[in-house]
Structure 1
Amino acid sequence: MSDTTAAPAVPLIHDVPADAILTVEDAAIAFGQVRALKGASMHARRGEVTAIVGDNGAGKSTLIRCISGVHAPDSGRITFDGHEVEFKTPHAARDAGIETVHQNLALVEDLTVWQNLFLNREIVRGVGPLRLLDRRAMRSRADEMVSSLAVNVPAVGSRVRRLSGGQRQAVSICRAAGFASKLIIMDEPTAALGVQETARVEELITRLKSEGHAILLISHNFAQVLRLSDAVWVMRAGRCVAGRRTAQTDGDEIVGLITGARAGDIPVEAA
């Protein structure tokens, strides 16, 4: 006789835990006739790596831009660190403790490492109109930031254009982690890197997690998601259609949820 016992359902993570640092509820936004988000809901916990996956056009980038203050959602609610927030600009999100490592890294090649670390955050001394950049303080602080994360970066006086792809990524992550950030958003942090540089960046992500940072990871690399994340949210057609604890799912289920071969836990409107 065949065994007809049903496999236990994979626990969902829609119920927001007490230690959630970020909660997004029914976020929706449209650009003209295009509805980029159609009521997306998710959360991220303190001291964890939370992955967001989905096909191109699923809404991942729009969602993180709403979280990081680039876009203001048309409706819905975002709660961060216990407070409902409405970030009008990326600077407002940064001031609240949200840092974003963009896929293009947002580094200025002709500036040095320390200058990039303090770009738009320059330390100045003096009062009134007699205020000067404190270059010594910024270089010293940059040395501390780089050494504390064990980042494989040359001297902080090196120009970014001379750095490898992995070193540039490390500078961008170091900048995000070095200013008392509570949540670090990473958009495809290893997409353009080789095997060794990818491993170094993944080690850095693990280190940041061990130090208590919450990390929101957007990645098309499912093996990387399964290695690094504690929870994963699947987006399709502008919504988070499923949430899983990573230890209780696998690549086949994630692919099925992304493609629609497996039904999500939240109904999705036809595209």
Structure 2
Amino acid sequence: MEPIVHPIFEKDTGTWQYIVACPNTRQAVIIDPVLNLNLSECKIETTSADELLAVVEANNYTIVRHLETHAHADHLTASFYLQQQLLATKQPKAPISTGRRIRQVQETFAARYGVPRAELDQAFDYLFDDDETFSVGDITAQVLHLPGHTPDHSGYKIGSNVFTGDSIFNPDVGSARCDFPNGDANALYNSMQILLILPPHYKLYTGHDYPPTDSGREPLPFVTVADQLEGNKHVKQGTSEEEFVDWRRKRDSSLNEPRLLHPALQVNIRGGRLPASPDGTQRTFLQVPFHISEF
């Protein structure tokens, strides 16, 4: 059985969000949802997440899991917000879930941003083992460990569809950076090979799309394995690991850090929870580290 897939594009961060549903039971999962962060006005808004809720309501879906592919560095996850909004409509609590290696990422960035251990322990309701299976209604889904972009990265195979996060991008975009802590270009190459040996008709749904300015195309949520083998500009068929790793390392050495890196990581290692307000208002505070040179 194949699921119903709703791709919803968040244009400010170039992020694909997904609602994936069983057509028989109307049970569904939400993958990599986005909170909107307006840095210039210091506002966190729920416009994108509310669009997802509207799709859930319009299709009478029951959400059974909120799935994160990894701790994103370019947007804030809306998983906790969605979980709380759905609980308010009397839906059962759907666990916020990701791969178990999120613990490594939490440890790395909790020290940098001073996140208390108690906030990390409550961040995720369920952590998957590699290759673990779970149900979306009558459909069996499988977790794939796909490290490289980050060490905790997971994909989700549901029917003949794989929700790849940032483990592979569309052919004319290629691949994601590997210069975050414990990122690894060799590991990313091997993760991409896991995807590229799947049957050629399988659909690879990407976590982002950044159409080249000269392409004239609209953002695409997926292409097939066959499309990737034929045309991915970084790992098409015949590309060696040495070639890929050499190119990726040179490219990553020239990149600036993501615009939303610091707020995103502080929220995402908390599973989408915001730091508690120190004054009981609707305000929250996120740290921005500075490197101070001599005056």
Q: Tell me the TM-score normalised to structure 2 length.
A: 0.25
- Which gives a bigger RCO, structure 1 or 2 (Cα 8 Å, sep 6+)? 1
Rg bigger for which structure?
Answer: 1
Q: Tell me the TM-score normalised to structure 1 length.
A: 0.26
**Which has a greater percent of helix?**
1
